[in-house]
Amino acid sequence: MSITYVPIFPIDFKLELSNFLRSREGTIVYNAKIAVVDQDRLTRDFIVNVMMYSVNREVSSFENGEAFEAYMKAGGTVHIVLSEIQLSDKNGLDLFRWVRKESPNTRFIAMSANPADESAAEEAGVDAFLAKPFALQDLFDIVKQFVVG
């Protein structure tokens, strides 16, 4: 199941980000779309709400890798994926490899509470790693790496 949240009004608490994303190939993407893939609803909703209201982006959420893959196969567009590595239906690094194959310019941020997952994610070639639990500023700092200022 996926849910897409679209901001309908500006909020005072905004992260100072441009509306542009630099893709992996270096091209500029306007109004980047973000996907959050995490089986933990609390974490997923937290990230979605923070991204939607503070960054004012369209954010879709998925409870597992299969739902995200189905969305992409149906023509869904995503520019940044934030995904848990320990998903209930598949390994998040397998999801990363699938995303890289199907949509090579999509940025992929892996997340995990397991410290060992960071080195595995780095070896796999993800764009960034976010260790759980994380502070809001950590989330913002990572997303800012891919947004043109």
Supply the DSSP symbol for 111. E
pLDDT in tens, 63-112: 999 999 999 999 999 989 999 999 999 999 999 999 999 999 899 999 99
At 141, is the pLDDT very low, low, confident or very high (cuts 50, 70, 90)? confident
Residue 11 has pLDDT above 80, yes or no: no
C-alpha distances in angstroms, 33 versus 20, 47, 90, 133?
10, 14, 23, 24
- CATH number of the domain located at residue range(s) 2-7+18-144 in this protein: 3.40.50.2300
Note the pTM of the prediction, 2 decimals: 0.81
